[in-house]
Amino acid sequence: MTSRIGPARLRVPDRARKGEIVEIRTMVEHPNESGFRHDNMGRPIPRHIVTSLVCTYNGREVFSAKLHPAVTTNPYMTFFLRATESGTLDFRWEDDQGGVTTASHKIDVTA
Amino acid sequence: MEDLLPLPERDIHDIHDFHGIHDASRRRALQALAAGACFVITRPALATPDDLAVALRETFGDREIRKGRVKLELPRLAENGNVVPATVSVESPMTEQDYVRAIHIFSEKNPLPRILEMRLGPHNGRAVVSARIRMATTQQVLAVAEMNDGSLWSAAVDIDVTVSSCT
- Cβ–Cβ < 8 Å for A55, A89: yes
Write the residue in A71, A72, A82 that is nearest to B124 by C-beta: A82
B124/A57 touch (CB, cutoff 8 Å), yes or no:
no
A58 close to B (CB below 8 A): no
Concatenating the DSSP letter of every residue in B21-32 gives HHHHHHHHHHHH
Predicted structure pTM score: 0.80
Sketch out chain A's domains with CATH numbers: 8-110 (2.60.40.10)
Residue A11 CB-density burial (10 A; 0-12 exposed, 13-18 middle, 19+ buried): exposed
Please tell me the number of Cα atoms within 13 Å of A41 on its side-chain side. Answer: 2
Chain A: give the shortest CA distance to residue B65, in Å: 21
3-state helix, strand, coil in chain B (%, to 5): 25, 35, 40
- Cβ–Cβ < 8 Å for A38, B12: yes
Tell me the sheet residues that pair with A45: none
What is residue B38's predicted lDDT score, i.e. its pLDDT?
Answer: 36
| pLDDT tens per residue, range B70-102 | 999 999 999 899 999 999 999 999 999 999 999
Q: DSSP letter at B93? A: -
- Cβ–Cβ < 8 Å for A53, A79: no
* Interface probe with B: pick from A24, A72, A91, most Cβ of B within 10 Å: A72
What is residue B32's predicted lDDT score, i.e. its pLDDT?
Answer: 52
Write the residue in B112, B125, B126 that is nearest to A70 by C-beta: B112
Sketch out chain B's domains with CATH numbers: 2-34 (no CATH), 49-163 (2.60.40.2470)
The answer to whether residue B61 scores a pLDDT higher than 50 is yes
- Cβ–Cβ < 8 Å for A45, A97: no
B163 close to A (CB below 8 A): no
What is the C-alpha to C-alpha distance for residues B13 and B103, in angstroms, rounded to an integer? 33
Write the residue in A57, A64, A77 that is nearest to B131 by C-beta: A77
B110 close to A (CB below 8 A): yes
Interface of B with A in 9-68 (CB under 8 A): 11-12, 45
Tens-digit pLDDT profile for chain A (111 aa)?
Answer: 445 677 999 999 999 999 999 999 999 999 999 999 988 999 999 999 999 999 999 999 999 999 999 999 999 999 999 999 999 999 999 999 999 999 999 999 998
| pLDDT tens per residue, range B9-60 | 444 444 443 344 445 555 555 555 454 433 444 444 666 778 899 999 999 9
Write the residue in B115, B116, B126 that is nearest to A21 by C-beta: B126
What is the C-alpha to C-alpha distance for residues B93 and B154, in angstroms, rounded to an integer? 17
Alpha-carbon distances of B137 from A6, A36, B50, rounded to whole Å:
29, 14, 16
What is the C-alpha to C-alpha distance for residues A55 and A49, in angstroms, rounded to an integer? 18
Residue B52 CB-density burial (10 A; 0-12 exposed, 13-18 middle, 19+ buried): buried
